[in-house]
Structure 1
């Protein structure tokens, strides 16, 4: 049955949203093998987002980049990535050993994305991942961008326990971020969140809030949060290649939310890492998705 692909947290989230039947239908798309069309898609990508826990169990999301072909399917259930998180990345040491990972390959220029979850082992030049789950997601809320390559060396990381005023402004102006979560057994997942600038609120230096929009009813991320609140966020600076990585805990507010949001997610920050020039990719200015719901004025926010 399709419902068997979901763990207890995902089914609980589907029940709370009243979407068990839709979730079961969407679950038919989850498989253990990579379709041929997906192999071609992976080989064209210059970036993949990886989610995993560090040695202390904190969740982080990290970007991996390379020329097209650096991410490829070796066979129907194994992929190779010719990259690992850099020396300043919080997942650098953890991925020197086998680890559960979630992967999100996303192509903003064509509004496509693909999720892959499995177990990574280090190789001489990167990672090899044995896959447990492979599935595509709907193209909603992906902002269109075109990439270009601009080699650069990562700068010195800036670490803190809370967000600076500049970092808060960057987040409130963001139209995209990525989130890493895991289930009770530690199986990791990486996902995408998008919306019009302002869709992420920063009520304080240690709290973020964003709406959860209508999706495919799988509730992989919110399902993980039902059983394991640790989460990691990645805010890329598409213009400069800098990354802002946050780790902490998240909870879902299932009560009716503002505007078109089905529910709200609140994230409490425990650690912040900002790395200038972290990746050699630069992206064009976005064309915002026509599916993005309007962002209510601040005075209407709860």
Structure 2
């Protein structure tokens, strides 16, 4: 296996981006970006700790869950989760974040890179209430780069094509939990926990 260890070697293989691709990065939101954020119910947040160890966390809520505070600042509410907060601990040490916003059915994505901080109990949280749940914390991102990414990966993976979906090809969530995380729990209890009641408790 031949490792690629220099930028020149990398460029020799992948080539050089055409001018319009190299120049598409912006430092502030356009009105079209605002429209995208208003329609997006899901994003991935990439963070790194002070040693360079990485984490990627999914964030989802009804479309428009990300608030645009000004052309260079957005805010993402934090809902209840597993309390690990790996990405948030990373941000305390290293504010650099990368976000990818998706819209179901769309192959292109909106990418935002910037510097983040965690904020608590601000008036803006009143605009983040969902199902009577008001967040106690939010991720504030100062935008340094924003641009759109093409749809090739989604087209190759057929991600949004229902005919290509095979969710049962991988073990179910209860089976994963029983095998790896909670071997002492009964399968019946895990199936009940991850059943309809799981979705009913999203905002508790």
Which of the five TM-score ranges fits, normalised by the shorter chain?
0.5 to 0.7
| Residue 265 (structure 1) aligned with residue 139 (structure 2) | yes
1:216 aligns with 2:82: yes
With the length of structure 2 as denominator, give the TM-score of the two structures: 0.61
Alpha-carbon deviation of 1:216? 0.7
| Contact 2:80–2:202 (CA under 8 A) maintained in structure 1 | no
* TM-score calculated relative to the size of structure 1: 0.42
8 A Cα contact 2:66 2:75, kept in partner: yes
Q: Where does structure 1 lack aligned partners over 5 or more consecutive residues?
A: 1-94, 99-121, 123-155, 294-302
- Determine if contact 1:214/1:262 at 8 Å carries over to the other structure: no
Measured at CA, do residues 226 and 196 of structure 1 come closer, stay the same or move farther in structure 2, by a change above 3 Å?
same
Note closer, same or farther for the CA distance 1:236–1:97 as it changes in structure 2 (3 Å cut). farther
Tell me which structure has the larger Cα radius of gyration.
2
- Whether contact under 8 Å (1:196, 1:292) holds in the other structure is no
The structural deviation recorded for 1:207 is 1.0
Superposed CA offset, 1:246-266 (max 9, x none): 110111112364332121111
Q: Distance in 1 between matches of 2:202 and 2:65?
A: 9
Secondary structure in 2 matching 1:190: strand
Structure 2 CA distance for aligned equivalents of residues 262 and 253 of structure 1: 9
2:45 matched residue in structure 1:
179
Number of residue pairs the alignment of both structures matches: 141
CA contact 2:107–2:151 (8 Å) conserved in 1:
yes
> What is the CA-CA distance between 1:163 and the residue it aligns to?
1.6
Corresponding residue of 2:160? 283
**Residue from 190, 193, 201 that aligns with 2:56:** 190
Q: 1:292 to 1:175 in 2, by over 3 A?
A: farther
Question: Kindly tell me: are residues 162 and 96 of structure 1, through their superposed partners in 2, closer, same or farther at Cα, counting changes over 3 Å?
Answer: farther
Distance 1:199 1:236 in 2: 12
Q: Secondary structure at the match of 1:252?
A: strand
The within-5 A match list for 1:119-138 is: none
Encode CA deviations 1:121-176: one digit per residue, 9 max, x unaligned.
Answer: x9xxxxxxxxxxxxxxxxxxxxxxxxxxxxxxxxx643211121111111122110
Shift of 1:97: 5.0
Q: Which residue in the other structure is 1:240 paired with? A: 106
